[in-house]
Structure 1
Amino acid sequence: MSGRAVKIVAGVVAVASAGAAAVLAARPGAGGGTDDGDRLPPAITTITRGTLRESVEADGELGYGPTRTTAARTAGTVTWLPAGGAQVTRGRPLHRIDDDPAVLMYGPVPAYRDLSPGDEGRDVAQLERNLAALGYDGFTADDEYTGATADAVEQWQEDNGLPETGVLRLGQVVFASGPVRVDSLIAEAGQSVAPGRDLLTWTGTSRVITVRLDVADGPVAKAGATVSVTLPDGRRAAGRVTEVATVIEPGAGDDGPTTEVEAQIALTDPKTAAALGSAAVDVTFTAAERRNVLTVPVAALMAAPDGGFAVEVVDGAGTRQVPVRTGLFADGRVEITGDGLAEGTTVGAPR
């Protein structure tokens, strides 16, 4: 991770209001009557109509997403490991112990027990779906391990050089969410291992951006939300939040644990970053958005005599104050509504 997320970059209401107050102090006559006659403001601007966005910027890391570890589930000698960077798909071995393969299958439930006739559960359904995807049949892909399931498993074991028992032993299958990319090797061929010994680490195969946000900024990272990504060469690319999770990091020393929100972001066009390795990027989330609204620079606001805000409308050689209701503050501008105000109206502003 290249760094912690930075806070909201477009001012929130409290900050923008404070800025407006500072402007008022610098504008002679601001906050006076409703008609200033022939006294014109030192500078002018116009009311515009458009989209106003409040953004949160955060540091992100372009890579392959979270790294996970695969450990031995049986004791023996490591006889084969894939090369670092290799991609492994369903039905292919992820490692071999005593020359018995641990075959990759897809699914969210990790292997945690032997499976045999009479067993039921999500892991059974997951196994049966994989067997069907690999071309085995004669059973119903539900959550029951039947005799027909055992027959399919026995055929699968024969095809993979495993003992043909019809019982799926722990360690014969490794489940992952999809194809995996071998990130690094921890063990090496010829090494004796016990159950639980780490063998290798892996990631997904798609390029993703990982972002950590403070919990207070977490609501901007919603699954499906679109973001803007600034790449190391300055190019901007569109992305979409694909996963969001709460991460608790243990504290060090006297520091307590910290809680953050971790978001995974996929680039809309993966080719954009095809030539990049791991890289630090900037990610911009949209915290709030108002479309087709009237806006002025925050500095154009002035104090209304009865409280609240007003703008100083320029009419020919004179001016008049028009009370306004403010909405979103962002990027130095503020959303306004008021009687008679329209796009193109000229208003006063400080130099």
Structure 2
Amino acid sequence: MIMHSANTVMSTLILRFRRRWMLVTGVLLVALVVAFAAAGFGGGEPSTTASSGDGLPPATAEITTETLTQTQHIDGILSHGEPEPLIVQATSGVVTWIAAPGTILEEGEAVYEVDGTPVILVHGSEPPHRTLDVQTVGSDVEQFESSLADLGYEGFDVDDTYNEDTATAVEAWQEDSGLDPTGEVPPGQIAVVEHDIRIALHGLDIGSRLGAELNQTVLTYSGTKKLVSVPLDVDKQQYVAEGDSGTVTLPDGTTVEGTVTYVAAATQEIEGEGGGEFIPVEVSIENQETLDGYNAAPVTLDIVTGEATDVHSVPVTALVALGGGGYGLEVLENGETSYVHVETGMFADGMVEISGPGISEGMTVGVAE
């Protein structure tokens, strides 16, 4: 299978799931309340046209003391992350086998074969660029020796010098891996990635001849754990930071906790209709078992962006616009009503934080039906 462009796949998913991003419902509700109030209040005193026949409001609620939590709702994509290319190091030969898409490979396992000879996954960040043999010195030596030690081979020091002890351990590793035990490691014998991998797509067909062009991509890969990718609108970046906790809602309604582990420093751009700039964000999920059955799916990420602890609150529909400006409450006491000016704070889940002289828990206020 010839791979599709990772950016094309990501672009399609982004354009599909950018229907709605972050919405602070309280702000919208306030707008409705203000519009409603403006229609009913034209002078210095609030109108009573919405009241019941006896002059009392049509419905009531009590002032409560609670903790309000403000949440941003963000659309995202559950997957194994955006695939990365694995470049072939061999400059000749024929690709005879590639691990199947979806395969999880650990350090020490074969990723693909050239002329029937396996290419082995080792951990590291420095790409192979020369043959490692006796008297070779450098950071790439220490990287390979560290990987060799992780695989359980002994009898050498993990340092920047490839010596006879290293060569002896390499011969044992090569024999165990189905390679010729030469004690030398050419660059085409290993695939260096920082972590275990999951095969995404094949970049070359079986039977492809290497060396026909430079930098051939044999396959694309991702991490082994599923995560949530969020193409965050640029104007929403202030709401998300690395280390933030969030709740991910899966398509079946199940929720699982996640943590923002990556926020890109630069924007990316999707061209065409419905595109635009966005900031790539990744959210890790510790409890991977809850994600069984999903390989790629649209999800919603809820991130707490504000919290007001032990504050007085009322339903947003209790607010009335006062003729002199600001907001007030219609307070009921002993069968009579009066209007009290209040200051508003946080809006969350249909409730609003209020404060002001004479405001106390348990007071009864009018609300719009």
Q: TM-score, normalised by structure 2?
A: 0.78
Residues 36-85 of structure 1: CA distance to partner in whole angstroms, max 9, x if unpaired? xx964443222223332333223222222221222211121112222232
Distance between the aligned counterparts of 2:195 and 2:168, measured in 1?
25
Q: Deviations over 1:269-327 (max 9, x none)?
A: 32323123432222222232323322222232234576433323222222333332221
Alignment map for 1:1-351 (pairs within 5 Å): 1=13, 2-4=16-18, 6-11=20-25, 17-28=30-41, 32=45, 40-74=56-90, 75-107=92-124, 109-114=125-130, 116=132, 117=135, 119-121=137-139, 123-142=140-159, 144-147=160-163, 149=166, 152-162=169-179, 167-194=184-211, 195-246=214-265, 248-249=267-268, 252=271, 258-303=276-321, 307-351=325-369
Q: How far 1:214 sits from its partner (Å)? A: 0.7
Cα 1:315–1:149, aligned 2, differ >3 Å: closer, same or farther?
farther
Q: Is the 8 A contact 1:71 1:198 kept in 2?
A: yes
CA deviations on 1:157-214 (whole Å, 9 max, x unpaired) are: 4543546565543232222242222222232333211252221222222222222111
**Counterpart Cα distance in 2 of 1:124 and 1:342:** 71
Choose between structure 1 and 2: higher strand proportion.
1
Aligned partner of 2:24: which letter?
A
Structure 1 residue 329: Cα displacement: 1.8
Q: TM-score, normalised by structure 1?
A: 0.82
Q: Is the 1:242–1:265 contact (alpha carbons within 8 Å) kept by the matching residues of 2?
A: yes
Report if aligned partners of 2:248, 2:255 keep a CA contact under 8 Å in 1: yes
Q: Letter of the 2:301 partner, please give it.
A: V
Q: Deviations over 1:220-245 (max 9, x none)?
A: 33333332233222333333333333
Structure-2 change in CA distance of 1:30 and 1:39 (3 Å): farther
Deviation string 1:241-283 (CA, Å, 9 cap, x unpaired) is 3333356445647x9x943222333445323231234322222
Q: For the residues of structure 1 that align with 2:57 and 2:35, how far apart are their CA atoms?
A: 17
Mean CA deviation greater in 153-162 or 123-132: 153-162
Secondary structure of 2:20 counterpart = coil
Unaligned runs of 5+ residues in structure 1 are none
Evaluate the alpha carbon distance shift between residue 78 and residue 247 of structure 1 in structure 2; reply closer, same or farther with a 3 A threshold: farther
Distance 1:150 1:220 in 2: 53
Q: Name the CA distance, whole Å, in 1 between partners of 2:77 and 2:43.
A: 48
Root mean square deviation of aligned Cα: 3.3
Query: What's the CA shift for 1:92?
Result: 0.8
SS state at 1:76 partner: coil
Amino acid at match of 1:3: F
> How many Å separate the matches in 2 of 1:182 and 1:316?
72
Q: Distance in 2 between matches of 1:186 and 1:302?
A: 63
8 A contact 1:84–1:182 mirrored in 2: yes
Percentage of pairs with the same residue: 34
SS of the aligned residue for 1:193 comes to coil
Q: Which residue of 1 aligns with 2:51?
A: none
Asked if structure 2 preserves the Cα contact closer than 8 Å seen for 1:60 and 1:209, the reply is: yes
Structure 2: where are the runs of 5+ without partners? 1-12, 47-53
Partners of 1:5 and 1:57 within 8 A in 2: no
